Amino acid sequence: MASRGYLSSGRVNQKQRTREALIKAAADLLAENREVSISAVSTLTNVGRTTIYRYFPTTDALIANAALWRVAGPDQTKIENAVTLAATPEQRVDALVVESDQSTNSHSREFREMLRVSLDSGKKGERRAGVRYFAFKRSLEDLEAQLGKHDFQRLICALSLTMGIEAQIVLEDICLLPPREACSVKRWAAAALLDAALRGRKKLKRNEKKRVS
């Protein structure tokens, strides 16, 4: 969680790296059975307390993210490797959805707890970091010039609906799908969104050519 708009403005990539460093430091404290506090994390990372509060307005928010990192953190390397090995945008999107789905299901309890904490923080105007948003954005950055800034942004936001605990809750808790079928729906939806964005851009270019001719 972070102050609304903080992570989406300015040096976004650097802020994301700082956030990850803070979470890793808190996770190390948990692993050593030491107390997790803003002061302790500040000492470990050399990041000021005021800055840390911009990312995590409460200690509970930091602990929830750190606890999740301890169990799901190793999955991140697996996800990144799967995306790196994928050659096409379609394959990269599918790899992200599949690997993320496995991580979410393996650590469902921790993801749900983080969601609870984020909802409580949301009442105070804070927001969660866009981890899935940045994952899709990095994996599809080669499409931004082709789609244009507005359509690329819209695609990344739409794809973000196919990942995370929220998608799992909708498909498994509300739609009552078994995990394997829920994953299949996520993959289908992500592929359809990407295809629609690419086809829409091609259609626009064809229309532009017709007007010129």
Instruction: List the chain domain ranges.
Output: 2-207
**Model pLDDT, residue 175:** 97
Full-model pTM: 0.73
What whole-number distance in Å separates Cα of residue 211 and Cα of residue 171?
44
pLDDT along the chain (213 residues), means of 10: 57 84 91 90 95 88 84 81 91 95 89 80 58 89 93 96 95 97 98 94 62 56
Torsion of CA 77, 80, 86, 91, to 10 degrees: 120
- CA angle (161 as vertex; 156, 163 as ends), nearest 5: 95
**Model pLDDT, residue 4:** 47
Q: Cβ contacts of residue 137 below 8 Å, gap of 6+?
A: 156
**Model pLDDT, residue 122:** 61
- CA angle (12 as vertex; 7, 15 as ends), nearest 5: 70
**Model pLDDT, residue 12:** 75
Q: Does domain 2-207 have CATH number 1.10.357?
A: yes
Q: Which residue has the tokens 């983080």?
A: 114
